[in-house]
Chains A and B, each alone.
Chain A
C-alpha cells in the first residue's frame, strides 16, 4: 500500500557535479518521494484523527463515569508521553506482544495509526472546549423548540463549535506538518528521513535546507487555507 502511494521517482540521477543545476534538481527529485510520503501521512492523519477526536470528545463528556474516566486516561497518556515513543510502541508492539513478524508495509500503517491516535486526543480536547463555549441558552432554546438531542447537536451546537475551534485546530495542523518528521523513528521514509540520508551520503547540508523549506512552504499553504476557512466561518458574529 505504501509503495503504491509513493511514486517511485528517479533514483538513478547523476550526482557527480555538486554545483550544477542538474545536481540540485536531482536532489529535489530524490526528496520528492519523501515529500509525497509526508503529505500522505499528513492527510491520512487528519482524515482519521479528526473524527476519532470527536468520538473521544463524546466519551470524555459521557454521563457514564466509567466511559469518561477511560477517555480522560486515554487523553492524558496521549498528551503526556512523547509521540515518538507512541510510534515505537505501535510499530514494535505487535512484534513484542504477539511475536508477529514486522513487514515493511506495516511501517506505513503504524505511522498512520500512531499519529491518528495521538492527534485524536488533542482534537478531542479542542472540540470539548468548543462545545463548552456554546452558551447553555442555545440548548434551552433548542429544547423548547422541540429539537431532539441529535438535532440540537448537529444543527445548533456543532456549527458554533466549528467556529470556536478553528484557531486552535490551525495550530494543531501546523504542528502536525512538522511532526510528520517524527515518523523517521520507525524508519518510515518521509521527507526528513530522506533529507538526512542524502545529506549524509552526499556530505552536504543542502538537502536539509530543502527539507526545511518544504515544511515551511507546506505550513504557509496550511495557514493560508485555514485563514480562508476562518474568514468563511465568520459570516456571523
Chain B
C-alpha cells in the first residue's frame, strides 16, 4: 500500500525555484534515503510533505487520502479538518531536535498524544516509557532537555514522534547537529526502526548508513530527482555524472 504519493510538486521562494518537478511515492515498510548537495531542495521537499511549507503546484496523498489536489495547475489544500486527520499519518524529526525546553523528557513525549490525539493518559504514559526505554533513556524521564546530550535529545525527539503512532516518519539530517561520536547512537536507533519495518524517509549525508539501511535511494539536485533506485545501484554504480561527482567528493 502506498503511504505517500507526491506528484509533480513545484515550490518557489519569491523568484527562487527550489522544487522544479518532483514526484515520489513511498510504500508501507519502505526505507527511503534522500541524498543531494546543499541547496538542492531536500529540506524543502520534506517541509512540503509535512505541511510546514505550502507547495505551489502538484498533488499529495497520504494513505490514499487527498491532502493536496490540483486545480488549473495550482495546488489546493484539503479542508482544515481533513488536514488535521492527515497530520496524524506522519511524523517529523528535525535536525536540531526542537524539543520543548520547558517540558521534561516524559512530558515532551506524552503531551501531544494526550492533548492533540485525545488519548488516555495512563496508556500513553506506559507506551512512552516503553519507547524511551527502548531508546536507552528510560532513566531520564524527569530530566529537562537542556540536561541531556545532543544524542539523547535526538532520541527523545524520535520517541516523541513515534508516540504519535505515525505511519511514516520523516527525518531531516537527524545527525547533522551532533558531534561525530554521537551520530552512531542515532544511526543505530534508525537501523532498529528499519528492522521493525517502520516506514521512513531520511535526508542524510551519511552515505554508508544510507547504503546499509535503505530500500531505495533518491538523489536530488537543483530541484529535480536526478537518479533513484536500489542503494547498490545509485551509490555504488551511479549513472548520472553529478551523482558520481557528489559521491566522489564525499568519499574524499
> Which residues of A does B touch, CB under 8 Å?
135, 137-138, 140-141, 143-148, 151, 155-156, 159-160, 163, 235-237
Query: What string of 1s and 0s marks CB contacts (under 8 Å) between B90-133 and chain A?
Result: 11101010111110000000011001110000000000000000
The verdict on B87 contacting chain A, using a C-beta distance below 8 Å, is yes
The verdict on B186 contacting chain A, using a C-beta distance below 8 Å, is no
A156 to chain B, nearest CB (A): 6
In Å, the complex CA distance between A144 and B181 comes to 29
Q: Please tell me if the beta carbons of A144 and B91 are within 8 angstroms of each other in the complex.
A: yes
Neighbour of B94 across the interface among A137, A151, A159, CB < 8 A: A137
In Å, the complex CA distance between A163 and B100 comes to 14
Contacts of A138 in B (CB 8 A): 98, 100
In Å, the complex CA distance between A67 and B133 comes to 50
B219 to chain A, nearest CB (A): 26
Q: Given A140-B94, A235-B144, A236-B145, does the pair A146, B116 have CB atoms closer than 8 Å?
A: yes
Q: Please tell me if the beta carbons of A140 and B144 are within 8 angstroms of each other in the complex.
A: no
Contacts of A155 in B (CB 8 A): 111, 115
Q: Which of A141, A148, A159, A236 has the most CB of B within 10 A?
A: A141
- Taking CB atoms and an 8 Å cut-off, the chain B residues in 152-174 that contact chain A are 160-161, 164
Neighbour of A140 across the interface among B88, B98, B102, CB < 8 A: B98
> Interface size on B (CB < 8 Å)?
27
Q: Please tell me if the beta carbons of B52 and A140 are within 8 angstroms of each other in the complex.
A: yes
The verdict on B50 contacting chain A, using a C-beta distance below 8 Å, is yes
Besides A135-B98, A138-B100, A144-B91, 19 other A-B contacts (C-beta < 8 A): A137-B98, A138-B98, A140-B98, A141-B94, A141-B98, A141-B100, A143-B51, A144-B51, A144-B52, A144-B161, A145-B112, A145-B164, A146-B116, A146-B164, A147-B115, A147-B116, A148-B116, A155-B111, A237-B101
Contacts of B164 in A (CB 8 A): 145-146
Contacts of B188 in A (CB 8 A): none
Q: Which of B52, B92, B101 has the most CB of A within 10 A?
A: B101
A24 to chain B, nearest CB (A): 50
Residue pairs across A and B with Cβ atoms less than 8 A apart, 25 shown, are A135-B98, A137-B94, A137-B98, A138-B100, A140-B98, A141-B99, A141-B100, A143-B52, A144-B51, A144-B52, A144-B90, A146-B84, A146-B87, A146-B164, A147-B115, A147-B116, A155-B111, A155-B115, A160-B101, A160-B102, A235-B144, A236-B101, A236-B145, A236-B146, A237-B101
In Å, the complex CA distance between A176 and B216 comes to 64
